[in-house]
Chain A
Amino acid sequence: MDLCVFGVDDGYAEAIIRGLRASFLTEAQYQQMKNCASIPELKSFLEETDYQNCLQADNPQIPTSILRQRLKKKLADEFEYIEAQSTGTLTKYLFHLRCRFMIDNVVNMIEGLKNKIDIEILLSNIDPLGWFPEIKNIKVLEGDDYSSLYRDVLIDTPIGVYFMKFLEESIENLHENRTLNDIQNLFREMKPEYIRTSLKKMWLEDFYSFCESELMPTSQEALLELLKFEADFKTVQVIYNSIGNRDLNTAAKIITTRKQLCPTIGNLYPDCEKVYLQAMTLDALREAVKGCDNYRDLLKDAPDPLKREEFNVQTKTLDDIMYDDECRRYALSFDGQGSYGVFYAYLKLKEQEIRNIIWLAEMISRKLAKNHPGWKKIIIPFSHLGK
């Protein structure tokens, strides 16, 4: 039923996205990009593609960080345009999508300030997709006082809700008769990466419930599927990364941290929760997820996290494997009709494309030999569909 009326409100926005499908680089173009000998050459190649306008003003020897910024800016502009063309639920939905980038930006800012990096540099490095006007006020952050950061700045930003939840949770986890000092200690020891993961987990859960409650059935079907996988991947990642992590020295601590960071949605939750929380080796993790679909296959190729020191560029890390699988899912979802999945997929695939370009730019700027395995480490959107 909702397919009949989808076009009424969201047809235009969807049509724009479908038009933008043509802007994805093709495999042949990637091949040409790999053949570029220098950054100026790569830049002039990109000027032949859809990225033409966003690069024209720069000088040929563009640093990769600026290149990334330009590419992201273009994506953000497109996204903003679509947002401006949307109404009702779609606007809310698109805004939810942006929240993820906002979280990233805020955490990056916090991390940067902690490391005493100049605010101007931080501001110039923020992801344009997750820009919001209050972001520059994060400067107010004093030391590790996250609660006052929340109170002063983040409270009326879109991600304030998540931040509040995060603060509440972390304070609750302390023992009963806590003092102000304890709280301060807690914050001092908290790693930005930890904040990021837990904020994102909350975002994901929130987004999931939003999709569940507000979207039409077709969109729901497509998105819930995608989000479940994303949640599962997050879970696997958390477990995987905590295996052999030296900061989490006791088993109890590992389990509580994991419990905090693993999303409470997805195919693995709650059935396998008990098992995976206890998994202390890669094999145990494999055992834990074996019941679900293709996770076992994915993990089969993953390198052992206990031998992290032996990793090098050639290693296909778990992230790479997962990106690859995700990319396939998004490409499939992009071709689905009449669902909001297409917006999500577009964003994700474009992100992947930018990641590819930046990766290649890095490879080129380091002048690595053409037979270096790193050249193969790109995941080309839509390349799975042909096979």
Chain B
Amino acid sequence: MQRSQEMSFYQLVMPRESAWAVMDQLGYMGKAEIVDHDPSIPLIARPFANYIKRCDDLLNKLNLLVETAQKLSILKHYTITTKTNHKMCPQIHTHQYLDLLEEQINAKVNSFIEQNRNHEQLLEQQTIINDQLDILQECRMYLGEDFFVSRDSKIDYFIGTLKQEEIQQFQRMVFRVTKGNAFVHIKLQNQKALYIVIFPDQGVILKKKLQKVQESISLNRFTLPLNLKEFDKIQNDLTVKHKEIKQLIELTNVQLNSSIQELLKQNDGIRLLDHYNMYISKEKALYMQLNKLKMQGNLFLGELWIPKKDSAQLNETLLLVKERNRDIPGCQISQKVPNTTPPTYFVLNEFTSVFQQIVNTYGIARYREINPAIFTIITFPFLFGIMFGDIGHGFCLLMFGIYNIFYKFEPFYELRYLILLMGFFSFYCGWIYNDFVSLSLNLFGSCYVVDGQMTPNKQHDCTYPFGLDPAWGDNLEFDDSFKMKLSVIIAYFHMFLGICLSGCNLIYKKDTYGFCCKFLPQILFLTSTIGYMDFLIIFKWVKQFNPNDAPSIINTMITMVLSFGSVEGPSMWNVNSQELIQAILIIIAVISIPWMWFSHIIKGYSIYKRKRNTIVKNSGQSIEGSQVIELQIQSILDETQQEKSLLQIHDHNELSADEEFTELIVHETIETIEFVLGVISNTASYLRLWALSLAHSQLADVFYSLILSNSITEGSIIGALLRYPIWALVSFGVLMCMDTMECFLHSLRLHWVEFQNKFYKGDGIEFKVYSL
């Protein structure tokens, strides 16, 4: 976890026949990353595009099946699991198994869809019959019994159903077509409208027109029976038919159900449907990987990354494939020198992954670079704790973290260990601050009596055992000074750690020059400025001063810088030695600036000069005529490829030697300025620790004093009970939710910017393991 795993690069050559088997096993091994030989090729132009398409089609079909089944409410509480599981998937199969499955699935899905279509048709018929029954009923009611007995031949009728939203349109059309000579009766029923159009029988044209209107708008049209006898007959017929259809529907329902049950049958502990889904998703993933290989005639060329420690396993796996499939030619594997940077791979577990995630969001670590995640595990929650420090709130967060570990609470489940540690550290810092939702706890007996002034009430050497003495609880000035100094101290150590890590990286790269000329001046500069200030802070805490002539740290620092180490006013210790030390520190700080600035420039200059010389020599040589010919002959003899690449390098050098050097100067200058200014500004940035911690305690204080404290001091229990929920809600919303978020973000910033900019390059490529 400290550095990326060492990766090895292999080339895999296999014939077409065994490609599937090899990739299958590699997928189950789940240790390697297959390199895409050319990411710019679209999927469709790749050799296995049609397989992927087939898999997609099958998955879609299964999805469709599940969806329709869910719509019919036969299949409840079922979600498709596409996540393939190692054990649940049959390991040994040939790729022909896909064909088999495809056939099975197609047959099943098609028969199911067919049944479903029947079902739908039946349902439709049922609604038509229902509609007809309804409208007959309505006609009888609306037109009256007499109507069927003595029918007026001068009036004609159209009946039917239509959609509710089309009623107006229908009415208007009828009105316009008949020029107002028709009456439309509408009755709303079951999301539909029944209509009866009554119009004078004035000839064929009108009737034909109306019929067209009716055809174009209505859902169903029916004819009105002429007399009561016919009416009853139709009604009876319909009721009988209705019953029949109902039975048929039930029958198809049973059929549909049984075919679904068949799919849900357990087989070796897996439901058939799951088995289908998993196998096909697996197959799709496999073909996706196969697509990354380069095809040359009948051979597949693949390149893969694998962690060095697992490379033995790779050989074993390939042997296994050979053993299992004796009838097909095996594959060959050879280690190669990679032509690209290896991917970065950290072995993670569920605890470390969330912290790695925090770092990865900023950038993937460069290959074999120190991984800041390992420090982030502690420093991140700790810095959060400093800002969020409160016994009560910290405890709540801690409990939430613990709860989340044992009982899954989905939205924060991934972050559970982070929350746990954040909770723990804010709980701990709360004890240090002695701050319990804005109140100070007096558990061990305060050493002071507060009576306008702080007077010690016990013997002289009384110390409060843990955290701040509760007597300081309301003293904002004390709090400020304490937290401010604390943040500066933490700033120094955090940045010190960052620079040390950059030193480690340099040592790992065996870059002694860099170590001497980058790491050393940087660490000296930091220590001689901020480090010295921290020393003064701690020194002043430890040593007892007379309040009237205690030296001010700020003044000491300012005069030290402005007047070369001299001390004005009271000194920390012996004036002479302090002045001497300060002068030395100033000299160190000033020297270290050009040290880190110019060292690389000088080195770059010497390289630049050497290059220039060789270039001049080369061109000098080529000017001599006879040698040119010789060179030409030689170049013909040489392998053309080599020559080309050499020439390219040459050209490249010639073009950019000057540019490279100027770029180096600019780069070094910027880096130095950034570092020197950064030491000051980043330290100032750490003051956010103080600011946020202060904001937290002050907010808690405000909520407490405005909402709760009145009723508590007055002793009214009812008042306190009534106000308590308000206080709790506000505390939860503002402090537990918003402030947590804020502290989290600031802690994130301190890590990404102030800490990681000292050493972290973060330009690596993530290792994406191929695993089935």
Contacts and interface: CB of A to CB of B under 8 A. Distances in A.
Q: Say whether A and B bind each other.
A: yes
Contact of B213 (A45, A48, A140, A155): A140
Interface string A136-148: 1101101000000
Contacts of A152: 173, 176-177, 209, 213
A140 B44 contact: no
A354 interface: no
B77 interface: no
A56 B57 CA distance: 9
Interface in B64-123: none
Nearest to B210: A140
B42 A48 contact: yes
Nearest to B50: A44
A156 B171 CA distance: 13
A383 interface: no
A32 interface: yes
Contact of B44 (A32, A133, A137, A151): A32
B236 to A, nearest CB: 34
A48 B217 contact: no
A134 interface: yes
Contacts of A140: 173, 177, 209, 212-213, 216
Interface residues of B, number: 19
Interface in A31-52: 32, 41, 44-45, 48
Contacts of A133: 166, 169
Contact of B43 (A48, A153, A155, A156): A48
Contacts of B49: 44
Interface in B17-73: 42-45, 49, 53, 60
B195 to A, nearest CB: 15
**Secondary structure at chain B's binding surface: helix, strand, loop or mixed?**
helix
A24 B648 CA distance: 39
Contacts of A45: 44
Contacts of B216: 119, 136-137, 139-140
B172 interface: yes
B689 to A, nearest CB: 40
Find the residue from B166, B173, B216, B217 having the highest chain A CB count within 10 A: B216
Contacts of A151: 176
Contacts of B209: 140, 142, 152
B145 interface: no
B169 A48 contact: no
Contacts of B44: 32, 41, 44-45, 48
B212 A139 contact: yes
Nearest to A32: B42
A153 B217 CA distance: 12
A45 B50 CA distance: 11
A224 B509 CA distance: 67
B167 to A, nearest CB: 12
Contacts, number: 42
Q: Chain A interface residue count: which class?
A: 10 to 19
Given A32-B42, A44-B44, A152-B176, A137 B60 contact: no
A357 B607 CA distance: 58
B213 A156 contact: no
Interface in A10-35: 32
A139 B215 contact: yes
A137 B172 CA distance: 12
Contacts of B212: 139-140
Nearest to B177: A152
B60 A56 contact: yes
Given A44-B53, A142-B209, A137 B43 contact: no
A67 B177 CA distance: 37
Contacts of A142: 209
A153 B53 contact: no
Contacts of B42: 32, 48
Nearest to A133: B169
B181 to A, nearest CB: 14
Given A151-B176, A155-B176, A134 B215 contact: no
Given A32-B44, A133-B166, A142-B209, A156 B217 contact: no
A119 B60 CA distance: 34
A335 B634 CA distance: 57
A137 B53 contact: no
Given A32-B42, A44-B53, A56-B60, A136 B172 contact: no
B113 to A, nearest CB: 12
B313 to A, nearest CB: 36
A212 B217 CA distance: 38
A124 to B, nearest CB: 15
Interface string B512-529: 000000000000000000
Nearest to A45: B44
B213 A137 contact: yes
Contacts of A56: 60
A137 B210 CA distance: 11
A32 B209 CA distance: 53
Interface in B148-182: 166, 169, 172-173, 176-177
Contact of A136 (B53, B60, B217): B217
Contacts of B53: 44
Contacts of A156: 172
Contacts of A32: 42, 44-45
A32 B46 CA distance: 13
A242 B518 CA distance: 83
Contacts of B169: 133-134, 137
B212 to A, nearest CB: 5
Nearest to A141: B212
A156 B168 CA distance: 12
Interface in A90-136: 119, 133-134, 136
A44 B209 CA distance: 47
Contacts of A136: 216-217
A134 B176 CA distance: 14
B42 to A, nearest CB: 6
A142 B217 CA distance: 17
Contacts of A44: 44, 49, 53
Contacts of B213: 137, 140, 152
A139 B215 CA distance: 9
Contacts of B172: 156
A137 B217 contact: yes
A53 to B, nearest CB: 11
A142 B207 CA distance: 13
A137 B42 CA distance: 47
A74 B101 CA distance: 33
Interface in B445-478: none
A23 to B, nearest CB: 16
Nearest to B45: A32
A99 B216 CA distance: 22
Given A44-B44, A139-B215, A153 B173 contact: yes
Q: List 10 A-B pairs, minimum CB-CB distance, nearest first.
A: A139-B216, A136-B216, A140-B212, A137-B216, A152-B176, A152-B177, A139-B212, A45-B44, A48-B44, A48-B43
20 contacts: A41-B44, A44-B49, A44-B53, A45-B44, A48-B44, A56-B60, A119-B216, A133-B166, A134-B169, A136-B216, A137-B169, A137-B173, A139-B215, A139-B216, A140-B173, A140-B209, A142-B209, A151-B176, A153-B173, A155-B176
Interface of B: 42-45, 49, 53, 60, 166, 169, 172-173, 176-177, 209, 212-213, 215-217
Given A137-B173, A139-B215, A155-B176, 11 more contacts: A32-B42, A32-B45, A44-B49, A48-B43, A133-B166, A134-B169, A136-B217, A139-B216, A140-B173, A152-B209, A153-B173
